[in-house]
Amino acid sequence: LMGVEKLLQSGPRPGGACCYGEQPTLADCCLIPQVYNARRFQCALEEFPRVVEIAEHCNGLPAFVQAAPENQPDAE
């Protein structure tokens, strides 16, 4: 996640709610599962404030809520 954090801080639209602005893109769809698994395996994310900020924003959007692993029919 370190490389992603660096890209997000210096990218074309640093500071947007999502990776590349205010609307989710494929980059966000790829990032969210990585953050989910990092949290699942209790990885420290303090070094990645932009990644965490974007993940928190995206995880509040209806499409991401519906797609969350724990909201799938076969979730245990």
Query: Model confidence over 6-64: pLDDT tens digits?
Result: 999 887 666 789 999 999 999 999 999 999 999 999 999 999 999 999 999 999 999 99
Nearby residues of 65 by Cβ (< 8 Å), 6 or more positions away: 59, 71
> ∠ CA(7), CA(9), CA(11), 5° rounding?
55
**What pLDDT is recorded for position 9?**
86
**CA-based nearest residue to 64, from 35, 40, 32, 17:** 32
| Class of CATH domain 2-70 | mainly alpha
**What pLDDT is recorded for position 14?**
67
